[in-house]
Amino acid sequence: MAGVTISQGVRANLISLQQTANLMSETQNRLATGKKVNSALDNPNSFFTAASLNDRANDLSTLLDDMGQAVQTLKAADEGIKSITTLVEAAKAKANQAAQTSSTTDRAKFASEYNDLLTQIEGIANDSGYKGKNLLAGDSLVVTFNEKTGTDKNTMSISGVSYGDASSGLSLSEAADWTADDDGDTAIETTLTSLTSALTTLRNQASTFGTNLTVVENRQNFTKNMINTLQEGGDKLVNADSNEEGAKLLALQTRQSLASTALSLASQAEQNVLRLF
């Protein structure tokens, strides 16, 4: 079968129409997906660079969740210390009340109340855990700040304390001999000294946990900003400008209309030759 021959004018306009159609398809795809780079075929460098940036952002997002849980664990411990401090202050008040009376009955009453407060101190310490991690019951906490491994890995270790046993963690012992004599006075004075030391220990530990919390929250905010930076950078490499693509589509539609008109005019020229016969 013989091939169909078309004139140079018709062929030129046909090629223009085909190119315009391809460009329109590409522009419409960008508008539909919102991206100017949808695969490595579009732009290998931008595609793989954006993928790398988004992969790191995803890794950091996972760590961000862990940091958030670490913050909650520290806050739980901090709340526990605040409550324990209040109870130790109350226990100190009981010891002072006992020191100011010579009644054996009153001293025995204050001693019983003091011992009850110690029990509550231990109870609060044991109940200050979060998701199975209790910094007031001897557990430690390791917070990871970046996605790297080996020597480049950035972590912070937070050591816990053992306040679940007041006698060992805070050096507080039960009042068993607050009698109305010199021995009782000495025992109460020893207890007051231990309570003052316990308050100092609690305040120092609260300061330590507060510093740890500040560090973790700061890294949490930094990581959030870093994730946004990575995602924004990746988007700039692959995302399309909808305004620009819309303007291109409008221009291509105009070009397509003009090319169709030109093709029609070129065909009419050939038809005029046919009329001569």
Instruction: Based on the fold, state whether residues 210 and 171 are members of the same structural domain.
Output: yes
Q: Are 141 and 70 in contact (CB under 8 A)?
A: yes
Instruction: Based on the fold, state whether residues 250 and 201 are members of the same structural domain.
Output: no
Query: Which phi and psi (to 5°) does residue 266 adopt?
Result: -65, -40
* Residue-level pLDDT at 14: 65
Domain span at 81: 43-239
pLDDT greater than 80 at residue 22: no
Instruction: Based on the fold, state whether residues 201 and 225 are members of the same structural domain.
Output: yes
Q: What is the pLDDT of residues 213-253, one digit of tens each?
A: 999 999 999 999 999 999 989 888 877 666 766 777 677 67
Closest CA to 170 of 93, 109, 81: 81
Kindly report which listed range (79-83, 124-128, 258-262) carries the lowest average pLDDT score.
258-262
* Residue-level pLDDT at 86: 95
- Domains held by the chain: number: 2
Average pLDDT over residues 114-135: 93
Instruction: Based on the fold, state whether residues 249 and 235 are members of the same structural domain.
Output: no
% of the chain residues with pLDDT over 70: 82
If you search the block for the tokens 């480049």, which residue do you land on? 152
* Residue-level pLDDT at 11: 67
Q: Are 104 and 179 in contact (CB under 8 A)?
A: yes
% of the chain residues with pLDDT over 90: 49
Contacts 24+ apart (CB under 8 A), 127-130: 127/80, 128/76, 128/77, 128/79, 128/80, 129/73, 129/76, 130/69, 130/72, 130/73, 130/75, 130/76
Instruction: Based on the fold, state whether residues 256 and 190 are members of the same structural domain.
Output: no
57 vs 237: CA distance, rounded Å:
15
pTM of the predicted model as reported, rounded to 2 decimal places: 0.73
Q: For position 164, which CATH number holds?
A: 1.20.1330.10
204 vs 198: CA distance, rounded Å:
10
Q: What is the pLDDT of residues 164-176, one digit of tens each?
A: 888 788 988 888 7
Residue scoring higher pLDDT (22 or 46): 46
pLDDT greater than 80 at residue 60: yes
173 vs 162: CA distance, rounded Å:
15
